[in-house]
Amino acid sequence: AQSVTQPDIHITVSEGASLELRCNYSYGATPYLFWYVQSPGQGLQLLLKYFSGDTLVQGIKGFEAEFKRSQSSFNLRKPSVHWSDAAEYFCAVGSMEYGNKLVFGAGTILRVKS
Amino acid sequence: EAQVTQNPRYLITVTGKKLTVTCSQNMNHEYMSWYRQDPGLGLRQIYYSMNVEVTDKGDVPEGYKVSRKEKRNFPLILESPSPNQTSLYFCASSPLLGELSYEQYFGPGTRLTVT
């Protein structure tokens, strides 16, 4: 069955430091990949997506992610974190093999210390 | 403004008292879905609908019902809520258009507490 793993439940980084959030998936077919962010008390906002083409994708708020098929990974990065980036981040995967369903990882809570 | 709306945003209820959470989208999307979010589990799909009068179970459908009588609305019904249905619920929609089918738009969420 399809699955998405976000190995880090919590991550704490200093403001201005770089960030990498990990996401690994298990899918039989070509996946469609997403990162969403959920600020405290808010809904889900799409940060970026990968359908095909260039494996390095740019998103909003200065985030980027790289699709590595050989590693089944889609890690999210940001070169310099701001205090406002503190939130929960979800990786999600879809595939035509499984209809329109998105499967979500358990989430990574990002704390930013000043 | 393109959006998915949910009501109510917060609800506290008692075990066994039927409730409905409404979801509406103004983007003319065919696909709509309900998720529940629980700590450490991410979002899990409850039910989904590919179009009017077409609904199907997701991964965690037990204790829930849905209906799709109009394209824009997709209410979630809890006939007899139990405490294990205390959760944060999200409605989402997307067009049925190739890859864009997977780019789902989410509502603001409904926090439900069942005592």
pLDDT tens per residue, range A71-103: 999 999 999 999 999 999 999 998 777 677 889
Question: Is pLDDT of A8 > 90?
Answer: yes
Residues of A whose CB is below 8 A from B101: 94, 100
Residue whose C-alpha is closest to residue B92's, from B70, B108, B68, B112: B108
Q: How far is A37 from A114, CA to CA, in rounded Å? A: 21
Q: How far is B63 from B84, CA to CA, in rounded Å? A: 10
Q: For B8-62, how does the pLDDT look when each residue is reduced to its tens digit (9 = 90+)? A: 999 999 999 999 999 999 999 999 999 999 998 999 999 999 999 999 999 999 9
* Number of residues in chain B: 115
Percent of chain A residues past pLDDT 70, beyond the cut = 98
Determine, for residues A106 and B108 on separate chains, whether the beta-carbon distance falls below 8 Å. no
Closest residue in A to B31 (Cα–Cα): A100
CA atoms within 13 A on the CB side of B60: 15
Residues of B whose CB is below 8 A from A34: 102-103
Question: Is pLDDT of A30 > 80?
Answer: no
Smallest CA–CA separation between B27 and chain A, in Å? 17
Q: How far is A35 from A38, CA to CA, in rounded Å? A: 10
Determine, for residues A34 and B108 on separate chains, whether the beta-carbon distance falls below 8 Å. no
Determine, for residues A104 and B40 on separate chains, whether the beta-carbon distance falls below 8 Å. no
Q: How far is B40 from A111, CA to CA, in rounded Å? A: 16
Residues of A whose CB is below 8 A from B40: 9, 106-107
CB-closest option in B99, B101, B108 to A43: B108
Q: Residue A17: which pLDDT band, with cuts at 50, 70 and 90?
A: very high
Instruction: Please tell me the predicted confidence (pLDDT) of residue A94.
Output: 87
Q: How far is A93 from A99, CA to CA, in rounded Å? A: 12
Closest residue in B to A33 (Cα–Cα): B102
Q: How many CB pairs under 8 A join A and B?
A: 54
- Best of B56, B104, B105 to substitute, by most chain A Cβ atoms within 10 angstroms, is B104
Instruction: Please tell me the predicted confidence (pLDDT) of residue A21.
Output: 98
Tell whether B89 is within 8 A of chain A (Cβ): no
